[in-house]
Structure 1
Amino acid sequence: MAGVLSHIKVLDLSRVLAGPWASQNLGDMGAEVLKIERPDVGDDTRHWGPPFVGETAAYFMSCNRNKKSLAIDFTQIEGQEIIRELVKHCDVVIENFKVGGLKKYGLDYDSLKAVKDDIIYCSITGFGQTGPYAQRAGYDFLIQGMAGLMSVTGSPESGPMKAGVALADIMTGLYATIAVQGALIHRDQSGQGQYIDLALMDVQVATMANQALNYLASGTAPGLLGNAHPNIVPYQAFATYDGHLILSVGNDGQFKNFCKTAGLEDIATDERFATNEARVRNRETLIPLIEQAMKAHDLDWWIEKLEIAGVPCGPINTLDRVFADEQVKHRGLELSLEGETPSVANPINYSETPLQYDKAPPNLGQHSAETLQEMLKLSPDELKDLADKGVIGM
């Protein structure tokens, strides 16, 4: 069954994570994604290992399925001409070069709009196309610090910590996916393409969510709470007799049920703890009482009893336990592409147009010859000549 974007072609000039994450999403939805890579080394992340799958880093494998790899050197004039010819057949361009980095090659938005006036062109940078930081390089770790995420991640003991995955990159890739789909809908209605300016800094600030609004509403910058929640109590990890349990009490009814299970009925009606607002204000008094009670039983006991009581809770799983979890298995989140390449499923589940996983992440230049023959009608002799000049890799 054709995917929802099976009529769309994407020219992907991006590399590393944010852009490739977006183009992988579009590819999962059925778009034909042409990933343009340097003929000599390809995407940087091909070499970011170990671990490797064959000769390619697992990092690259995580964000480049459902794509065709075209190795084209667009620093050469003939390579630029090939890109412009490919754009005539495409709907979307995604790139994550520094501001103005593609203009010298004639591959910026204005240049490619002259080639195809309804092209949708998505630029991803660290700080955006405008502003005092526009010319700076932006990296996920840097952005997590500058945009506030690290100021609320970690504990007073550990100090500020980054997230364990590149969240600024991943979230920017997700916003790019959303932005491209919105622009495609607009184009279908108006016939107009457009330029999309996405910045990691903007995305990270925007996704500070309740923490950002806590500050804007109160004027007080939130600090490090470890595994605790700034607006809900108790909502954090607690040590049990033999491990740690995440307790996620979302309302007063759940708190009463927790107290009954934990043998803390007396505090359930204490005016200091009867409402979430009161519990937040009296966090320092309440948490030690819960900590003491949690150590009375082991992890499995708490999970069993709290599930019966309707109190959300769960263990802190390592990734081996994650992929062994019965829910993860049931949802089919672990994939094997083309029989042998490991991958993780896209979490989008359409009822009528299920996502397809047709292509494992490509080898460098794997699809150069067939794509240029099919789309640009280049002959074998022309391809050989371009390969001899180092313009393309096959």
Structure 2
Amino acid sequence: MNTTTAPTTDGALSHLQVLDLSRVLAGPWASQMLADMGAEVIKIEHPERGDDTRGWGPPYLKDPQGNDVESAYFLCTNRNKQSVALDMATPEGQRQIRELALRSDVLIENFKVGGLARYGLDYATLSALNPRLIYCSITGFGQTGPYAQRPGYDFMVQGMGGLMSLTGVPDGEDGAGPMKVGVALTDVLTGLHAVAGILAAVAWRERSGLGQHIDLALLDVQVSCLANQALSHLVTGQSPRRLGNAHPSIVPYQSFPTADGEMILAVGNDSQFASLCQEAGHAEWAADPRFATNAARVAHRGELVPLLRQVTVQRTTAQWIDALETANVPCGPINTLEQVFADPHVQARGLRVDLPHPLAGTAPAVASPLRFSRTPVQYRWAAPALGAHTEPILARLRETPVPDA
């Protein structure tokens, strides 16, 4: 049977309305992903301050006259959304948000535990009015446990959740010490988990007719994403140590100096190692009992890595990459972001997009990595101006009766 069809004009989630009460990164990252897939996302912001990240700059997007328009931080995670400025501290704001919740499929919030109950916007209250509502709460430490009332931020959780203990220069070397990842990775991973959980709840609602509460904690996400490092600890009882750019279980799998910088070698099997040795002019290393298998190379990394370093500095990064790619040895440069977006493959994949912006004309954005054959991601507009959609959304509330709970 031929199943080839033309892409539809509707996104995969165009049947969903999402009420976004979240700020900063984890929640907005999730709602932006849902918006990219076609969901209508209504972002509630304070009428004066807006989302905290509107003020997190520089850098700022500028208008044609060179005036600051919007922070890059806010732009990175709020495209395709509608901004509605309401003050939930007022009875009228609470009423309007509640009416939006009654019409929504999904609500995302990242207030402190219990913080929305005083406004009548908590899960217990809203689910009684709209049993189909999928309500996703994102906090630092979850709805239960001794830390539940603590505020949580990505940097804190990278430390508390063990990631920083695994990241940074090894003890005994210059600059030794734990290091955070260069982006707020815990927030981003939490946003991804929120999307997965929300879509699972949508699928279950199709069978049951009922929504549910999703309790998502940054600390839980961080610990769960320690992956092989967490299991290494659980099976041995030992805490893995920092290895800088090296890998605890694969050698050579790290950065190496070249004549003009550094490159990454990611040798995943013995065949690739033999090809590397051949290209390096030391085919005998592949037969050396110390290096012939990955397990042996891990045990003797202290001997092998210095030998490789003596060889890699003899050519430039580009020369090594050209040679090793031909030899089927995984390798690559360590690019700046300028080099990333100038890369021909990145450009061919369309990872930069330019979106209409009401004040700047256009605003750059990083494309979604999702490639759907039938319901492609849609880039409708850049992050909205504060309150840009308040009037049309409130007018719709007045014109549309509240659906039966």
Q: What TM-score comes out, normalization by structure 2 length? A: 0.92
Q: Show the counterpart of 2:365.
A: 343
Structure 1 residue corresponding to 2:23, chosen from 5, 8, 15: 15
C-alpha distance in 2 between matches for 1:288 and 1:219: 30
- Residue 239 of structure 1 aligns with an amino acid whose one-letter code is P
What pairs with 1:212-231 in structure 2 (closer than 5 Å)? 212-231=230-249
CA apart distance, 1:282: 1.0
- Residue 376 of structure 1 aligns with an amino acid whose one-letter code is R
Structure 2 residue corresponding to 1:135, chosen from 142, 149, 152: 149
Post-superposition Cα deviations, 1:278-332, rounded to whole Å, max 9, x if no partner, equal 1111111111111111111111110111011000101000000000000100000
Is the aligned partner of 1:184 residue 2:227? no
C-alpha distance in 2 between matches for 1:232 and 1:370: 56
Contact 1:85 1:376 survives alignment (8 Å): no
Structure 1 residue corresponding to 2:103, chosen from 85, 89, 96: 89
C-alpha distance in 2 between matches for 1:12 and 1:222: 39
C-alpha distance in 2 between matches for 1:327 and 1:121: 39
Extract unaligned runs of 5+ from structure 1: 379-394
Secondary structure of the residue aligned to 1:197 is: strand
Q: Show the counterpart of 1:333.
A: 351
What pairs with 1:108-187 in structure 2 (closer than 5 Å)? 108-156=122-170, 157-158=174-175, 159-187=177-205
C-alpha distance in 1 between matches for 2:380 and 2:314: 51
Q: Show the counterpart of 1:371.
A: 393
Is the aligned partner of 1:103 residue 2:111? no
- Residue 386 of structure 2 aligns with an amino acid whose one-letter code is L
Is the aligned partner of 1:76 residue 2:98? no
Greater Cα shift, 169-178 or 260-269: 260-269
Q: Show the counterpart of 2:278.
A: 260
CA apart distance, 1:114: 1.6
Post-superposition Cα deviations, 1:137-195, rounded to whole Å, max 9, x if no partner, equal 00000000000100010112331000000000000000001100000000011101000
Is the aligned partner of 1:38 residue 2:60? no
CA apart distance, 1:241: 1.0
Post-superposition Cα deviations, 1:47-91, rounded to whole Å, max 9, x if no partner, equal 101111132101000000010000000110111110111111100
CA apart distance, 1:375: 3.0
Contact 1:84 1:115 survives alignment (8 Å): no
- Residue 264 of structure 2 aligns with an amino acid whose one-letter code is I
Secondary structure of the residue aligned to 1:35 is: strand
C-alpha distance in 1 between matches for 2:335 and 2:49: 36
Q: Show the counterpart of 2:264.
A: 246
C-alpha distance in 1 between matches for 2:84 and 2:61: 20
Is the aligned partner of 1:207 residue 2:221? no
Q: Show the counterpart of 1:388.
A: none
Secondary structure of the residue aligned to 1:352 is: coil
CA apart distance, 1:196: 0.1
The percentage of counterpart residues that share the same residue type is 58
Q: Show the counterpart of 2:59.
A: 51
Contact 1:17 1:170 survives alignment (8 Å): yes
Extract unaligned runs of 5+ from structure 2: 1-8, 63-68, 401-405
Secondary structure of the residue aligned to 1:154 is: coil
- Residue 38 of structure 1 aligns with an amino acid whose one-letter code is H
- Residue 277 of structure 2 aligns with an amino acid whose one-letter code is C
Q: Show the counterpart of 2:5.
A: none
Structure 1 residue corresponding to 2:309, chosen from 267, 291, 316: 291
- Residue 33 of structure 2 aligns with an amino acid whose one-letter code is N
C-alpha distance in 1 between matches for 2:129 and 2:232: 47
- Residue 382 of structure 2 aligns with an amino acid whose one-letter code is A
C-alpha distance in 2 between matches for 1:267 and 1:135: 56
CA apart distance, 1:104: 0.6
Is the aligned partner of 1:67 residue 2:67? no
Greater Cα shift, 96-105 or 368-377: 368-377
Q: Show the counterpart of 1:382.
A: none
C-alpha distance in 1 between matches for 2:182 and 2:318: 26
Contact 1:87 1:115 survives alignment (8 Å): no
Q: What TM-score comes out, normalization by structure 1 length? A: 0.95
Secondary structure of the residue aligned to 1:203 is: helix
Secondary structure of the residue aligned to 2:213 is: strand
Structure 1 residue corresponding to 2:37, chosen from 24, 29, 32: 29
Contact 1:143 1:168 survives alignment (8 Å): yes
C-alpha distance in 1 between matches for 2:202 and 2:24: 24
Contact 1:5 1:31 survives alignment (8 Å): yes
Secondary structure of the residue aligned to 1:296 is: coil
Is the aligned partner of 1:272 residue 2:272? no
- Equivalent pairs counted in the alignment come to 378
- Residue 186 of structure 1 aligns with an amino acid whose one-letter code is W
C-alpha distance in 2 between matches for 1:270 and 1:219: 32
Greater Cα shift, 13-22 or 299-308: 299-308
- Residue 333 of structure 1 aligns with an amino acid whose one-letter code is L
Q: Show the counterpart of 2:212.
A: 194
Moved over 6 A (4+): none
Q: Show the counterpart of 1:307.
A: 325
- Residue 307 of structure 1 aligns with an amino acid whose one-letter code is E
- Residue 9 of structure 1 aligns with an amino acid whose one-letter code is Q
